[in-house]
Structure 1
Amino acid sequence: MSDQLSVVAANEPLDRDAPAPLHAQVSEQIRAKILSAQWPPHYRLRSEPELAADLGISRGTLRRALSTLIRDGLLVQVRGRGTFVTSTAIEPSIAQKLTTLSEDFARQGVSVTTQVVSHEVMAAPSPVAALLDLHPGQLVLRLERLRSSTVGPVAWLVNYVRIDLAPGLDRADLADRSLFGLLENDYGLKISTGRRTFTATAATGRIAAALGVAESFPLLYLEQITYLADGRPIEYSDVWIHSDRMRVTSLLSRR
């Protein structure tokens, strides 16, 4: 993972002689990173032992700092997953299988085509770098695709994928293959978990044109971060869905 908290400690050293206790200093430093958007919503913090070691403090002091931010609604702890920066929106957790749109379409027997609009290796934008645990300026594959069914365009997808974990991915044919399937079958990466956030948004610009809708047409927007079995993030994506042509259904279990 990138050294964001090491940077915090280096730029603003903890003052052990200050009136403010260490846990309060740590919580304020982390708060500043969140409020400045250096740590965007859904950013996952390092493990407690790693954070405590980076800051040169005990795990008990770190827990007090984190508990303050959790109480203030800036952080949330997910059992078995870690500690995340919260979103400003209410996000109920809905369990569902982690599949791609192409896998879902194939399972339902829906005929779709995928047009790769652009693919380029580029420096990860700062919020994406933070979410993917990359250093500033580290390279990712940015992929733009349009999915269409027999009734017309249904989804516009923008993916950012870590090429340090999948070298040569920019040369792969992603028009006819699932991105997850390619990562798992060609690179031996085990995709395990993901976090999806759904919101409503209005169509604008290129997205409106690509989906064949008017400006301000209501779309379903999906933001996703995908993790490997060892906890490393592998992919971040933005997906805009034509709300008249596609619905998202979650299969739920009470327990």
Structure 2
Amino acid sequence: MSSEKAAAGIDRDAPVAIHSQISERIRNRVATGEWPAHYRLKSEPELAAELGVSRGTLRRALTTLIEEGLLRQVRGRGTFVTSTTFEPAIAQRLSTLSEDFAHQGVVFDTEVRSAEAIEPPRPVAALLDVPAGGQVLRLSRLRSTDGDPVTLLTNYVRLDLTPGILETDFSRESLFGTLEGKFGMKIGTARRTFSAEAATDEIAAGAAPERR
């Protein structure tokens, strides 16, 4: 067995069918975050070659996961990991939170909590297609109105596509505006997802407004 096939977790001598092994392997990749929500899988020929199996065997494994709701296929685009978070129609309108506030006449302050170059987490690297060894900007900002925190935003941007972005003052500049105006990127589509989770002690302490 080649090292590539071994890494893929395929055991041809096991009593478990190969297509079932592939399905389980993909479940694990999704569960660990290696393949995050909305991640687009490689094409069937590429994925079959990577796993060392026939396209028929791969398609049987994918069909199982599609029926389970873990994957979805979009004609002409490919196979994607499904999302388990809330995606209302309003979330898909392409605008930033600062634009939403401005349209509503809401005055807000932006505090940059951190802006640093890091090696991206695997889910982020997969979604942004970061090349091996590449780094991203991790930008954390706290938005407040009338001194009360409203939201904590964390964004990741590929540094190889945005040289010098670390020098930007994001307490004054918007991220979308910087990408479009300074780096000539046209943001045509985007997807927002919403989920609720308990704040960590660090986030809760950092977002708490100062009381006098």
TM over 0.5: yes
Q: 1:94 — aligned with what? A: 89
Count of aligned positions:
206
Pair 1:139 & 2:135 matched: yes
Offset of 1:201 from its aligned partner? 2.6
Offset of 1:153 from its aligned partner? 2.2
Residues 124 and 137, structure 1, Cα contact 8 Å, conserved in 2:
no
Q: Secondary structure at the match of 1:103?
A: helix
Aligned-residue sequence identity (percent) comes to 58
Residues 156 and 210, structure 1, Cα contact 8 Å, conserved in 2:
no
Q: 2:28 — aligned with what? A: 32
CA-to-partner distance for each residue in 1:30-63, whole Å, 9 max, x for gaps? 2332344432344332233543454455555433
Label 1:144 to 1:26 Cα distance change in 2 as closer, same or farther (>3 A): same
Q: 1:199 — aligned with what? A: 195
User: What is the CA RMSD across the aligned residues, in angstroms?
Assistant: 3.2
Unaligned runs of 5+ in 1: 1-6, 214-255
Pair 1:180 & 2:157 matched: no
Label 1:116 to 1:32 Cα distance change in 2 as closer, same or farther (>3 A): closer
Q: 2:125 aligns with which of 96, 120, 129?
A: 129
Pair 1:157 & 2:148 matched: no
CA distance in 1 between counterparts of 2:148 and 2:32 reads 40
Moved more, 55-64 or 66-75: 55-64
Letter in 2 for 1:139: Q
Residues 52 and 59, structure 1, Cα contact 8 Å, conserved in 2:
yes
CA distance in 2 between counterparts of 1:12 and 1:201 reads 33
Q: Secondary structure at the match of 2:25?
A: helix
- The answer to which structure has the higher strand fraction is 1
CA distance in 1 between counterparts of 2:88 and 2:55 reads 28
Unaligned runs of 5+ in 2: none
CA-to-partner distance for each residue in 1:82-138, whole Å, 9 max, x for gaps? 433235x46465353121111212233322221112111011123322333335653
Offset of 1:183 from its aligned partner? 0.9
CA distance in 1 between counterparts of 2:208 and 2:39 reads 33
Q: Secondary structure at the match of 1:187?
A: coil
Label 1:150 to 1:78 Cα distance change in 2 as closer, same or farther (>3 A): farther
Letter in 2 for 1:211: A
Alignment of 1:210-221 (within 5 A): 210-212=206-208
Residues 72 and 80, structure 2, Cα contact 8 Å, conserved in 1:
yes
CA-to-partner distance for each residue in 1:194-252, whole Å, 9 max, x for gaps? 33221223334232234337xxxxxxxxxxxxxxxxxxxxxxxxxxxxxxxxxxxxxxx
Alignment of 1:1-255 (within 5 A): 9=5, 11-12=7-8, 23-55=19-51, 59-78=55-74, 82-87=78-83, 89=84, 91=86, 94=89, 96-134=92-130, 137-150=133-146, 152-212=148-208
TM-score (norm 1): 0.65
